[in-house]
Amino acid sequence: MERMPEEKTSSPSFEAGLAELERIVRELEKGDLPLEQSLALFENGMRLSAECKRQLEEAETRVEMLMKRGTEMIAVPFSPEKTGK
């Protein structure tokens, strides 16, 4: 029996995670939520923050792996200044 490719349904896209994190921050900044609800939002925000950080680190690693010098694949740290923008 052939297996279907696994989908990553547990973690949102970076953009969706960041948008949700921004929404949580706005809610917490209002300061009118009960303590338990504030704590739950804070915990969710910390989880989203860690997931976004992980996704950024993975993207950075992929960029480093794709940077080539000659015929060898060499990890070169990504530097936005060198992109010509």
Pairing between β-strand 68-69 and β-strand 72-73 as defined by DSSP bridges: antiparallel
pLDDT band per the 50, 70, 90 thresholds, residue 75: low
Mean pLDDT, residues 44-57: 95
The closest alpha carbon to 24, from 2, 43, 52, belongs to 43
Q: Identify any residues that bridge with 68 across adjacent strands, giving them in sequence order.
A: 73
What's the whole-model pTM score? 0.64
Q: Checking phi first, is residue 23 left (phi over 0); if not, alpha (psi -120 to 50) or beta?
A: alpha
- Which range is least confidently modeled, 12-16, 42-46, 48-52? 12-16
- 83 near 67, Cβ under 8 Å? no
